[in-house]
Chains A and B, each alone.
Chain A
């Protein structure tokens, strides 16, 4: 049972570069999410998706782009990376139904923008 996997796990990139973080889940969960974790801010929602081809902004969407052409994949793209986007990024998924259903997180992608 692979669950939810993220790649790359660690990435260093330069300011202005485009970076894509991949997320793949094997549960056929309807919902997928991208969070970032920063000291003093906890987990903040970047984007989420309720189903294939349906995405919506979270709390901190600026500078990010998502797509969901297939249920199992939810890539996050930083179009022009900035130092403020240095963070740990977590992809997550859950079943359809209300938002109290358990969310399952990937192991995280550590991104450093220099």
Chain B
């Protein structure tokens, strides 16, 4: 059973506009969330995280929002740039040792 879900496999946005990537989770014990970004032929790299004690965390053009009651988080990229085109994974720690990843959303930012 997928504990972290990304229901949109792909998203297309024009350069300069906002990209919103969504993630839902089922395990109410999750208290920390991460976003990873993956370019083709490369490994995923850490992008941004958020603790459940916050509802927002911002890092430059990237902001993650957390709605605990809805078990939903979203990653906003403003403004979107062509270099942001990649696959984005949300993830949550399961227990003390492991990270559980979502299925990923492929973002395409067109000039």
Contacts and interface: CB of A to CB of B under 8 A. Distances in A.
Interface of A: 4, 31, 33, 35, 40-45, 48, 50, 56, 58, 90, 92, 98-100, 102-108
B39 to A, nearest CB: 10
Given A100-B34, A102-B46, A107-B41, A42 B89 contact: yes
Contact of B96 (A90, A98, A105): A98
Nearest to A102: B46
Contact of A107 (B42, B96, B98, B104): B42
Interface string B1-26: 00000100100000000000000000
- Give the interface SS of chain A, mostly helix, strand, loop or mixed: strand
A43 B44 CA distance: 10
Contact of A58 (B32, B46, B98, B103): B98
A36 to B, nearest CB: 11
B89 A108 contact: no
A45 B98 contact: yes
Nearest to B42: A107
A42 B9 CA distance: 10
Given A42-B102, A90-B43, 11 more contacts: A43-B44, A90-B44, A98-B93, A99-B95, A99-B99, A100-B34, A100-B49, A102-B46, A105-B43, A106-B43, A108-B41
A41 B34 contact: no
A108 B102 CA distance: 18
A31 B97 CA distance: 8
B23 to A, nearest CB: 11
A58 B98 CA distance: 8
